[in-house]
Chains A and B, each alone.
Chain A
């Protein structure tokens, strides 16, 4: 039993971390804590998703927020115009993001390294520009939910509560997904692609489809997170849905915790958000918050390029087996 337990130690650690964050506002009964936890969990979900592409497959996407924004818009549209409930809207947002990722993957996953990264930035800007001019989604002014919609969920207070529970659930799902990918045969193929794509191809990894699936898997949850985030927010507009800054922050979180590990992005996202919260309310740092993120990324790349968990794995080879 204990051997089996240790075999999946990293999954238990990861789920434990997510649960601690998720239970903290419930135990303390504090709405403010709930808002903080919601932000942290959405960061965890986004970072863990991007990690499937960036950490496991080795493809750096600088525009990953496009899936959050696009899923958010589609989800918002189904609620606002089609009158769907939040569950269906979330599903729609996830599927829309997955479909977008699939089509984009076919087009740009043949690019490698910096060219791929540049293409992802371009795509985020292109989708933002498109939505800016797309009348059904409200163009540049976006859309705003009718407040009455929350009635179906027992009022705005209850809707907020529900959205938080959904976020906890999504984060648990993404953690399990991330762990499954990392420890599966499919994931081994992705790691091989990350290390040497040509060698992987010669060894029989069907690289085009493996990369495309990794891209799709990394997009689904961000699409769902977008849908519930903007349902909670009550309003959506292009500037909120596609901030390049969030894409970069996702990368900082992954690098901080350890790219290519299950636990790393979770710790990285939680750590980064905690730091950001502190900096935003601190009178000394509140205007320097992004500058500090930039310096942080620089320091990580220079001194611990593998992040916290990667550093632990390197420093203590004994734990490498189960700390992933």
Chain B
């Protein structure tokens, strides 16, 4: 198991953001994480990568209890993530942005190695022509790719992708899906939060469904698509009309 999340609970004041979330993630899988807005998906990412400390429960990464450890500790150990709202280092070039990932993440490269890694990763993500542009000058789709490039350049063992497809057009989605597959084929385990159902059903080996901070379902994409609870909470309630007609 590359990651074990055990009984994680997180509260913000009176808001119960996560309640007793437990799951295991074997190496090499793509794990999809879905749920309605506000279900606690990003909070779960923030707990896993050390931005938030959970109120209860433990996070075990590569066999070590990393609960409450700082984000940079986890990054060095082999975790990388992208942000739902992109956070480019605006005044640095695209290449420098990616080099930060390679220098300070799990790769711990020196500057010249980092430059090589950066060029290779920028190639993979189709950002090579923009390598010398300032990150602030990119458009949204390119910034999402940059987030991804930075994360990959750190040569992580586990990659957390937070809505990398949101706001992209269909052809951009198709190429991003291809990239995610390519990353998995490099042996990197992935957890991805996504609202684009066709993509997540396609990519994931397994899917977790969060609703109001609780895990309500877990299974293969087919199992999830046919799960009553999931349909009600998230995909919509196809039997609602039927029930209304019966006067229930």
A contacts, CB < 8 Å to B: 184-185, 188-189, 191-192, 194-196, 198-207, 260, 317, 320-321
Contacts and interface: CB of A to CB of B under 8 A. Distances in A.
Given A184-B111, A204-B104, 8 more contacts: A189-B103, A195-B88, A196-B89, A202-B71, A203-B101, A204-B71, A204-B105, A321-B132
A191 to B, nearest CB: 6
B90 interface: yes
A196 B51 CA distance: 14
B105 A195 contact: no
Contacts of B83: 199, 202
Interface of A is mostly: helix
Contacts of A203: 72, 75, 80, 100-101, 104-105, 150, 154
B96 interface: yes
Nearest to A199: B87
Interface of B: 49, 51, 70-72, 75-76, 80-81, 83, 87-92, 96, 99-101, 103-106, 110-111, 114, 132, 150, 154
Contact of B100 (A184, A200, A206, A317): A200
B72 to A, nearest CB: 5
Given A191-B89, A195-B91, A199-B83, A204 B111 contact: no
Contact of B89 (A199, A204, A206, A321): A199
Contacts of B76: 204
Contacts of A189: 100, 103-104
Contacts of A199: 83, 87, 89
Nearest to A306: B91
A205 B102 CA distance: 11
B72 A201 contact: yes
Among A184, A188, A198, A204, the most chain B Cβ lie within 10 Å of the Cβ of A204
Nearest to A202: B71
A200 B105 CA distance: 10
A195 B71 contact: no
A204 B96 contact: no
A201 B92 contact: no
Nearest to A205: B104
A205 B110 contact: no
Given A185-B110, A189-B100, A189-B103, A204 B92 contact: no
A198 B72 CA distance: 10
Contact of A188 (B91, B111, B132, B154): B111
Contacts of B70: 201
A198 B52 CA distance: 12
Among B70, B76, B100, B105, the most chain A Cβ lie within 10 Å of the Cβ of B100
A204 B76 CA distance: 6
B91 A207 contact: no
6 contacts: A188-B99, A202-B72, A203-B72, A203-B104, A204-B75, A204-B105
B244 to A, nearest CB: 47
A201 B89 CA distance: 12
Nearest to A314: B134
Contacts of A185: 103, 110-111, 114
A202 B99 contact: no
A206 B72 contact: yes
A191 B51 CA distance: 21
A203 to B, nearest CB: 5
A188 B90 contact: no
B87 A207 contact: no
Nearest to A191: B92
Contacts of B105: 203-204
Contacts of B106: 204
B8 to A, nearest CB: 19
A106 to B, nearest CB: 16
B75 A195 contact: no
A200 B100 CA distance: 8
Contacts of B72: 201-207
Contact of A198 (B87, B96, B111): B87
Contacts of B114: 185
A275 B19 CA distance: 64
A204 B154 contact: yes
A188 B101 contact: no
Given A202-B71, A204-B104, A195 B90 contact: yes
B87 A196 contact: yes
A191 B83 CA distance: 19
A194 B100 CA distance: 13
Contacts of B103: 185, 188-189, 204
Contacts of A196: 87-89
B111 A195 contact: no
A321 B51 CA distance: 34
B92 A195 contact: yes
B158 to A, nearest CB: 13
Closest 7 CB pairs of A and B: A204-B75, A204-B104, A195-B89, A199-B87, A204-B105, A202-B71, A192-B100
